[in-house]
Chains A and B, each alone.
Chain A
Amino acid sequence: QQQVKQSPQSLIVQKGGISIINCAYENTAFDYFPWYQQFPGKGPALLIAIRPDVSEKKEGRFTISFNKSAKQFSLHIMDSQPGDSATYFCAARGGQNFVFGPGTRLSVLP
């Protein structure tokens, strides 16, 4: 119940395309859902986050869609750029610690 499932494991997108990463959770006590971006050799950086009382949040080219009834949320990267190539982690917070998805390695081809 503490797991967060994430798919796909890896994703290749052409420059300008849309990247979509999906996550699902079971624990209804989770109430904060961030996405992190991690470049090789760096720590994860907070990208965008959403709370379950909102169905969508957009920040620039990044959008989170949240479906509370299905217990799913997704990250959409519009107009994907080669600089977006990184590993993306979804996470869910319940209490004081996060549970992370296994990550999606995104490659954006020039």
Chain B
Amino acid sequence: KAGVTQTPRYLIKTRGQQVTLSCSPISGHRSVSWYQQTPGQGLQFLFEYFSETQRNKGNFPGRFSGRQFSNSRSEMNVSTLELGDSALYLCASSLTGANTEAFFGQGTRLTVV
């Protein structure tokens, strides 16, 4: 069974630009969560999608948004990039979300210059 796939693996963007990251969950998993990982703040929850609906949201500004498609694939968008958005963005998939095991992808390393 294929794992969680995130694309692209690496991105370099300029301040003010926008970026879209993609996550394909494990087959059969319907919940996709997104996390930001930085050396200073650790792993921070962005949002979770289940059956194409955002079910939970962390404390990030509205520049961070996401969506989920009918095949459970998810995208995350960051608009008006800031230097502080440089981070490893991770997605995790699980069967239903609540109290089920979550499996992470390898992440997308975003660098904003």
Contacts and interface: CB of A to CB of B under 8 A. Distances in A.
Contact of A99 (B4, B45, B92, B98): B45
B94 to A, nearest CB: 9
B48 A34 contact: no
Contact of A45 (B45, B50, B104): B104
A42 B97 contact: no
A102 B38 CA distance: 10
A37 to B, nearest CB: 11
Nearest to A89: B43
Interface in B76-109: 90, 92, 97-99, 101-107
Contact of A96 (B44, B50, B105): B50
B43 A44 contact: yes
A49 B56 CA distance: 22
A89 to B, nearest CB: 7
Q: Give the interface size class of chain B.
A: 20 to 34
A96 B104 contact: no
Interface string A89-107: 1000101111111110000
Contact of B102 (A34, A42, A101, A103): A34
Contacts of B4: 43
Contacts of B90: 43-44
A96 B99 CA distance: 7
B24 interface: no
Interface of A: 31-32, 34, 36, 41-46, 49, 51, 89, 93, 95-103
Q: Sort A-B residue pairs by CB-CB distance and give the 10 closest, nearest first.
A: A43-B104, A100-B43, A96-B97, A96-B56, A97-B45, A102-B42, A43-B106, A44-B104, A43-B107, A96-B48
Interface of B: 4, 6, 31, 33, 35, 42-45, 48, 50, 55-56, 58, 90, 92, 97-99, 101-107
29 contacts: A32-B99, A34-B102, A36-B104, A42-B106, A43-B90, A43-B105, A43-B107, A44-B90, A44-B104, A46-B102, A46-B103, A46-B104, A51-B99, A89-B42, A89-B43, A96-B48, A96-B55, A96-B56, A97-B33, A97-B45, A97-B48, A97-B56, A98-B33, A98-B43, A98-B102, A100-B35, A100-B42, A102-B42, A103-B42
